[in-house]
Structure 1
Amino acid sequence: MASSRSRTLSKYHNWTREELIAQLEKLDVDSSQHEILPRKEGSFFNFASHPRRKIALKFCYSGQEYNGMAFQKDKTPLPTVEGVLFNALTQTRLIDPNKGFEGCGWERCGRTDRGVSAAGQVISLWVRSAINDGIIPDSDQTETASSQGVLNPDDVNDELPLLTVDAGSSFSSRVTRSQRSSIATSEIPYIQVLNRVLPSTIRIIAWSPVAETFSARFSCQFRHYKYFFPATKDLSIPRMEDAVGRLVGSHDFRNLCTLDGSRQIDNYIRHISHAEISQIGPDESAMDIGPMYVFNLIGNAFLYNQVRNIMAILFLVGSGLEEPHVLSSLMNGDPKNPVPPYRPGEKIEVVDRKPSYQMAIGLPLVLWDCGYLTEDVKWQTDDDPPTATGETESVITSNVRHQLSSIYMRSRIRSVIDGHFLRASSRYHDLPYTPLPFTDDEARDATLTHEKTTLNIPVGAGVHIRTAKYIPLLNRARGDTSEAVNERWRQGRGKKRLERQKLQGEDTPSLHTINIAS
């Protein structure tokens, strides 16, 4: 019996309390990554007896771990960021899982594709609050409130951040003196609570109380994207900068995005307020592939895959395969409103349909920030955890900065090791592509690249397309017009979707009125 008990305890009996808790939390997260979890039987929580408030959450995530930002109803190879976030919010009982995304008024600032990361993504939603502001549910109203679940945002007025409810709602504003003494005066530490159950690849970094009318998507004033890439010897930064300068202003980007009929977009004009390429500080691990650069792009809104399509053209220009003014031609899609030459003497062609080309890899792309008016959001963090002599490791690591610093340190170590692997292999193998000598003072002739036996065209993240012959962009086969793409979807999948929704009794807008912008 003793030996049997010893064998049973041998796996865990030497673990510390913190290690056991960490392992249990990891198992909880791993088991809930791929699906929205329903509330467990026997674990009833009366959300209706708690006040709610509308907040915005700002968070970062590593895109390579996820199947994109947006939750998908169908099974996905990797979890989605929204799916993991939703599970964390329900696990901490901040939202009611039975009400779904609609029940908490969930809105995201923008979508990101599989592999694309974010440093400042934002969602807005209604969550449970610890601040009651004198609103206590009457005992004779408990059953009614319980049956109704969470509060309807329409029942909450604009006096935020403290929750107040109209007298006609299911909550009464009559509060006794003894009840007032028990009213909470400090808010739930949303950041600490959520980061405890979220995987390390998603970190909540700030939150803000917001008004009832606030929308993470439509209240956003600008979105800032960054695309990181190394400046190899066969990539001209000055040529890329020449092309980038043409992006600033309002332009038609139908040839610089992915046309998707399900979005039914008929306006492809987007305004770019800032576009530049800048060098990042020297990095020892990158010395074999050249200094790192970042393409910064700021605009009010973006089309589907717009940044990755633009970056693909910049790589072609930087490689000497296309001239910088090809970007002006691609933004010259409307013959009735021609784009003027960016420089005197440039020939700008009308390109009414998108030529065939592969967009850049998503891994180096980051949604860097989502900007809002200062009167709309006031980003804040939780109160610092109490410190004392001999504070535990769990207290130290609860700080977001410590957590992200630890993640960054491990990433740097892996990067340095990978760099040494590259150096070690260089004694026996050539680089996967042959760099061409070239100085920034001279404009490289594209024919020099064409004379190579095999072309290696960069598409980001160290990935190259190998081809024996390069066809100039404007000489390639072109796809359908955006109008034809939209009509084909309406007559195909869109028509089937409407029929299915009618059978289910759902109220849906006309296919001609659906317009989903980025």
Structure 2
Amino acid sequence: MTPNYESWSKEELIARLKELETKKHTKLTRSPTFKKPFHLSSHPKRKIAIKFCYSGWEYNGLAYQNGPTPLPTVEDVLLVDATGGLDGCGWERCGRTDRGVSAAGQVVSLWVRSALPTETASKVASSSDEEDLSTEDTPQNTSLQPSTKHELRYVSILNRVLPPTIRVLAWSPISPDFSARFNCKHRHYKYFFTSHGLDVSLMQSAANHLIGEHDFRNLCKLDPGKQITNFHRCVMHAQINPVSPESDSGGRVYVFDLVGSAFLYHQVRHIMAVLFMVGTGLEQPSIVSALMNVFQAESNTLPEPHLPLVDRKPEYQMADALPLMLWDCAYADSDVTWQSDGNNAEKGTGSDLYHLLHSIHQRSVIHTVLDEHFFAAATQYHSPPPQYFPFSQTGLTPHTLPHSNLGREPVLGVPLGAGTYKRGAKYTPLLERKRLDHVDVANERWRIGRGSKYNKQKTPDDGIE
């Protein structure tokens, strides 16, 4: 029964508060339940590859960071062995993704506990300094104890302890010398956008110039800290395809499929920013070839011999991260054999992987419908602004844009993806903009400055975005 505190004196209330504080402190200082530590050295192990997806907008990128970040990184959540860390389990990622970028087919390789004898799972010589490579909570969950007949259900086990925004899709047995990064044959990125204000045919014409091996230093973010000197990358496929029918409000949804052996830092988002400029009509498709013409000696080998030399990157803003997805990391069939938990996977209403992702998708569809109705309600009272883009359909140019009734210059909104825009009253062509320092100059300045504090230079990741 709750006491009638209103009738208590000040001294009685103070005494009661002290009593409650004492009880609270006693509960907090109780000794935690002892859990027997888990050591991988006393269990069989094997090396596996894991394919997983994650919602980029929930995380501060994929890679683990030493310092604090506004949001957790994906590897912060996946890293479950604080003692061994990423190095302790031989962790290798196929490619980094930046903050806001999602993945549907990211791949990592690592050593894990196995239910099979070591010589059966993988013929690996045990080292003398093995680290604890277990998955968090696995040792304490008696239902996950190894079976002598079947391998551990890696997909189910990991998805049980991971948040819904990270889902393990499949795993594969791999050889001890397999590397998720270096064994990758190619990486496939997708960037989704709407055709509102864009001429998609012009964007495709520009994308065609990307095919082949080129120097992409003007189509990526330059990071002197990585000391990159080779900006040549090979693009195998660059195609824009529709993914939805035309709508009355936002145009048609398209996807830009870009496949390459490896990518530079923010390369896909820089390419998309330039494609958006081409789609509006502010730049010609040949701008892509111009930005890749970084050496005078190479100009005569390009299809368009009169391209200007662009040996330093012009300043421009890259496209938004939200629509970008690492769709797939491809490997030789002899390297990986992707598999799920098969018939041993737990089934239940809404509990398995398929039902969970289907449920998330259904909620997203409903959110889209709601947003469409919000927009429809607003259009009853607010007229759309003048449509200037694409110039190929409006017949306008940067010099023939109409002024307002008050004589003001029009404000141009150059698309950056995901409904974001770079707004300004005047557009400066890319090749007339201020240029950044030459790569060699920026690298040398870093090397004799901040870089002199480091004994070991950073090495770039393949597949960075």
Alpha-carbon distance in structure 2 between the residues aligned to 1:401 and 1:376: 26
Aligned mate of 2:382, from 426, 429, 446: 429
Check conservation: 2:238, 2:256, Cα contact below 8 A.
yes
Equivalent position amino acid for 1:46 in 2: H
Per-residue CA deviation, residues 330-373 of structure 1 (Å, 9 max, x unaligned), is 00011122264546xx7411100000100001110000100000
Corresponding position of 1:262? 225
Structure 2 counterparts to residues 293-332 of structure 1, below 5 A: 293-332=254-293
How far off is 1:454 after superposition? 1.3
Query: Any gaps of 5 or more consecutive residues in structure 2?
Result: 4-31, 131-145, 404-409
How far off is 1:514 after superposition? 4.5
Corresponding position of 1:47? 40
Aligned mate of 1:375, from 310, 325, 334: 334
Alpha-carbon distance in structure 2 between the residues aligned to 1:361 and 1:437: 19
Equivalent position amino acid for 1:434 in 2: P
Corresponding position of 1:447? 398
How far off is 1:400 after superposition? 1.4
Identical columns (%):
49
Q: Does 1:271 align with 2:228?
A: no
Instruction: Describe the shift of the 1:75–1:321 C-alpha distance in structure 2 as closer, same or farther (beyond 3 A).
Output: same
Corresponding position of 1:238? 201
Aligned mate of 2:115, from 130, 137, 140: 130
Q: Does 1:492 align with 2:449?
A: yes
How far off is 1:167 after superposition? 8.8
Check conservation: 2:101, 2:324, Cα contact below 8 A.
yes
Corresponding position of 2:366? 413
Bigger mean CA offset, 182-191 vs 319-328: 182-191
Alpha-carbon distance in structure 2 between the residues aligned to 1:205 and 1:75: 29
Check conservation: 1:265, 1:517, Cα contact below 8 A.
no
Query: Any gaps of 5 or more consecutive residues in structure 1?
Result: 5-38, 91-95, 134-158, 172-181, 388-393, 499-508
Per-residue CA deviation, residues 466-501 of structure 1 (Å, 9 max, x unaligned), is 111111110011001111121122122211233xxx
Instruction: Describe the shift of the 1:183–1:84 C-alpha distance in structure 2 as closer, same or farther (beyond 3 A).
Output: closer
Alpha-carbon distance in structure 2 between the residues aligned to 1:308 and 1:203: 25
Alpha-carbon distance in structure 2 between the residues aligned to 1:170 and 1:321: 60
How far off is 1:445 after superposition? 5.5
SS at match of 1:97: coil
Check conservation: 1:68, 1:116, Cα contact below 8 A.
yes
Per-residue CA deviation, residues 26-79 of structure 1 (Å, 9 max, x unaligned), is xxxxxxxxxxxxx99744123221111000000111100000010111111101
Corresponding position of 1:187? 151
Per-residue CA deviation, residues 284-315 of structure 1 (Å, 9 max, x unaligned), is xx541111011110000000000000000000
Equivalent position amino acid for 1:63 in 2: G
Check conservation: 2:398, 2:427, Cα contact below 8 A.
no
Instruction: Describe the shift of the 1:102–1:230 C-alpha distance in structure 2 as closer, same or farther (beyond 3 A).
Output: same
How far off is 1:397 after superposition? 3.0
Q: Does 1:101 align with 2:86?
A: yes
Q: Does 1:333 align with 2:294?
A: yes
Aligned mate of 2:176, from 205, 208, 212: 212
Corresponding position of 2:59? 66
Per-residue CA deviation, residues 200-244 of structure 1 (Å, 9 max, x unaligned), is 111100100111111111110000001000001x21111111101
Structure 1 runs (4+) deviating above 6 angstroms are 167-171, 437-440
Alpha-carbon distance in structure 2 between the residues aligned to 1:190 and 1:123: 13
TM-score (norm 1): 0.75
Residues matched between the structures, number: 414
Instruction: Describe the shift of the 1:302–1:443 C-alpha distance in structure 2 as closer, same or farther (beyond 3 A).
Output: farther
Equivalent position amino acid for 2:235 in 1: I
Corresponding position of 1:456? 413
Check conservation: 1:322, 1:446, Cα contact below 8 A.
no
SS at match of 1:243: helix
TM-score (norm 2): 0.83
SS at match of 2:245: coil
Alpha-carbon distance in structure 2 between the residues aligned to 1:115 and 1:361: 9
How far off is 1:398 after superposition? 3.5
Alpha-carbon distance in structure 1 between the residues aligned to 2:251 and 2:439: 39
